[in-house]
Amino acid sequence: MTFARGEDADIYYEVHGRGTPVVLSAGMGGSGSFWAPQLDALASRHQVVLYDHVGTGRSAAGRRSIAGMADDIASVLDHAGVDAAHVVGHAIGGIVGIELALRHPKRLRSLAVVNGWGRADPFLRRCFEIRKALLNRLGPQAYVRAQPLFLYPPQWISENIAHLDAEEERILKHFPSVGTMNERIDMFLAFEGGRRLAAINVPTLLSSAKDDALVPAYLTRELAAAIPDARVREVDWGAHAFSVVTPKIFNDMLLDFCKEVDR
């Protein structure tokens, strides 16, 4: 296993493939394994860097701010010998990508934010209030059991229930501490990009699903209005984790964007 040294914690990461570097940052769960549906397609054309957020997966425990999480990506890139990469983040991973673009713009070839936000509106806050209540009152098992309801379309859940049951067991084995999860949720709900977003000057792709019931597509449109020259791609179906539900659509979208930027 390969680890980069962050400010105060070791960060687990993997490198796959060859070509222009792409670093992938997961959402609330924090594990690089979230990107399994993307790995083969991206690694066929790019050097792909996956990592686990500090405090999740195989990375060491540690307290982090959003700025600290952005610095962690820079540390991983340093250790992997990468000067600049296409940075792709899902949900809170996208917020970390935004922060990296503001703090270390030269480390990005481009930025892709998947189902992200520039501010948490009342709807998003209520969704996470419910998720926190499940976690704090009933424990990690209830939180993980309910997670697919926030991430996937109903029909997809029904058709993939055996896979989700197996995934539930795997997630619980590596679930972060309750304290870490509460800190992560509170930190990202507090994020307000505001006027700082206008300073982002790297090619930016913002993608969302119209049926996302956790982070509605209108929050992506708001983010696009704040980031200069950001382009928006909306898919009709796939919900919050449409990169998992419709991987070919997502992979083609991302590969086309990276190809255009590299050209």
Per residue in 10-36, pLDDT (tens digit) is 999 999 999 999 999 999 999 999 999
Which own/partner contact pairs does 39-43 have at CB distance under 8 Å and 24+ positions apart? 41/247, 41/248, 41/251, 41/255, 42/16, 42/17, 42/251, 42/254, 42/255, 43/16, 43/17
Per residue in 97-122, pLDDT (tens digit) is 999 999 999 999 999 999 999 999 99
Per residue in 201-255, pLDDT (tens digit) is 999 999 999 999 999 999 999 999 999 999 999 999 999 999 999 999 999 999 9
Q: What is the pLDDT of residue 7?
A: 85
Length of the chain: 263
Per residue in 66-75, pLDDT (tens digit) is 999 999 999 9
1 pLDDT band, cuts 50/70/90, is: confident
- 2-262 in CATH: which number? 3.40.50.1820
Tell me the one-letter amino acid at 56. T
Beta bridge mates, 89: 25, 113
Is the pLDDT confidence value at 258 over 90? yes
